[in-house]
């Protein structure tokens, strides 16, 4: 989103992003963990922009700094904190949010994953005027795109990011031209897209194969759909549905090919194609099976 703004005619006077976070175990325990800046910060540094990284946006010192900058408009995208009214009231033209769903559907922190989980055929991007609620502000513009059958959260995120950047620039231009009218949301049609947890990734093989396939795609790359095998977590990143009557109980390995593992589900079966065993890197099932032989009748839990 920031890269799109930088190509437009408006001046970016400051960038607000999350504080740098630790990533990985590093060498020698926690002391060796690497501090990783956000991609937004990396771009802002390259462009020589002023960067603010408050731990909490409700800090009085942060609010005072923002007031001194006298911004005309805030542009917010996937920031991760709810802005209080005292902050939202600072820019004279308000605050515009770019949200990765067709509001009022999928309000919350994980709209992309939830759209896939629920089997939506289309999704999109919304620009809206922010208020104190969670994605409840008046809608400015929307654009939709189809969700492909093999779409993952990763691939869909890339598409929506590009679409959102275009929509934001169009929104700003039409706001300046005065030909854009904000439309209130129909709150009765709102659906939730709350933050996902790692534990949400556990596969229940009693569900239908179509639901498991959606879960695998929605949780790719994070937090990862997973099962257990021989006491170790096995993340599943890619698979496909095989229609027909499953033989054996849900979670049982029905067949092992050179590049797939067929598992029984509540309806139909599921071909596993790409995995990551605990402590190892992500790999194809063909590579996995070369070092981890699995027999028909094995149970995933």
Kindly state whether residues 254 and 127 are assigned to the same domain. Answer: no
Q: Which one, of 36, 64, 61, 66, lies nearest residue 51 by Cα?
A: 66
pLDDT in tens, 174-221: 999 999 999 999 999 999 999 999 999 999 999 999 999 999 999 999
Read off the pLDDT of residues 57-100 as tens digits, 9 standing for 90 and up. Answer: 999 999 999 999 999 999 999 998 999 999 999 999 999 999 99
**53 and 90 belong to one structural domain:** yes
pLDDT at site 29: 47
Cα distances from 243 to residues 147, 207, 208, 266, 268, in angstroms, run 21, 14, 10, 12, 5
What pLDDT is stored for residue 32 in this prediction?
Answer: 57
Same-domain status, 39 and 172: yes
Asked if the model's pLDDT at residue 14 lies above 60, the reply is yes
| pLDDT above 70: residue 27 | no
The yes-or-no verdict on residue 54 having pLDDT over 80 is: yes
pLDDT at 80: 87
CATH number at residue 241: 3.10.25.10
Please report, in angstroms and rounded to a whole number, the separation of the first and last CA atoms in the chain: 41
Considering the domain architecture, whether residues 87 and 113 belong to the same structural domain is answered as yes
How far is the C-alpha of 160 from the C-alpha of 158, rounded, in Å?
Answer: 6
> Distance between CA 84 and CA 76 in Å, rounded?
13
Tens digits of residue pLDDT in 220-239: 999 999 999 999 999 999 99
Predicted pLDDT at 30: 47
Q: How many CB atoms lie within 10 A of CB 121?
A: 9
Report cis status (omega within 30 of 0) of the bond before 208: no
Alpha-carbon radius of gyration of the chain: 23
pLDDT band of 31, cuts 50, 70, 90: low
| Same structural domain, 160 and 206 | no
Give the pLDDT score at 130.
97
- CATH code for the domain in which residue 40 is found: 3.40.50.170
Asked whether residue 169 falls in the same domain as residue 28, the answer is: yes
**Is the domain of 243 the same as that of 150?**
no
Position 299 in a domain: no
Task: Quickly count: other Cβ atoms within 10 Å of residue 117's Cβ.
Answer: 19
Residue 246 pLDDT grade (very low, low, confident, very high; cuts 50, 70, 90): low
Q: What is the pLDDT of residue 106?
A: 98
What residue numbers bound the domain in which 179 lies?
2-189
């Amino acid at each position: 989103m920031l890269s799109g703004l930088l190509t437009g005619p408006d001046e970016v006077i400051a960038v607000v992003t999350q504080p740098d976070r630790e990533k990985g175990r590093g060498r020698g325990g926690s002391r060796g963990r690497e501090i990783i800046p956000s991609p937004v910060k990396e771009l802002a540094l390259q462009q020589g922009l002023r960067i603010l990284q408050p731990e909490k946006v409700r800090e009085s010192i942060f609010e005072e700094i923002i007031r001194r900058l006298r911004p005309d408009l805030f542009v917010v995208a996937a920031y991760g904190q709810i802005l209080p009214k005292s902050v939202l009231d600072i820019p004279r033209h308000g605050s515009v949010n770019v949200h990765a769903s067709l509001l009022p559907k999928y309000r919350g922190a994980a709209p992309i994953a939830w759209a896939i989980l629920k089997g939506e055929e289309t999704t999109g991007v919304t620009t809206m005027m922010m208020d104190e609620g969670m994605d409840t502000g008046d809608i400015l513009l929307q654009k939709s795109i189809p969700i492909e059958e093999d779409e993952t959260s990763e691939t869909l995120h890339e598409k929506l990011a590009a679409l959102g950047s275009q929509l934001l620039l169009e929104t700003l231009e039409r706001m300046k031209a005065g030909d854009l009218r904000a439309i209130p949301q129909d709150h009765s049609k709102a659906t939730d897209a709350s933050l996902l947890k790692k534990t949400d990734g556990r596969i229940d093989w009693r569900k239908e194969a179509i639901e498991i396939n959606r879960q695998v795609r929605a949780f790719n790359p994070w937090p990862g759909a997973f099962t257990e095998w021989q006491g170790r977590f096995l993340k599943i990143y890619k698979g496909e549905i095989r229609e027909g009557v499953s033989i054996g109980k849900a979670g049982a390995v029905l067949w092992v090919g050179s590049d797939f593992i067929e598992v029984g589900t509540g309806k139909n079966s599921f071909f596993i194609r790409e995995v990551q065993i605990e402590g190892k890197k992500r790999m194809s099932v063909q590579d996995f099976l070369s070092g981890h032989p699995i027999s028909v009748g094995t149970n995933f839990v």
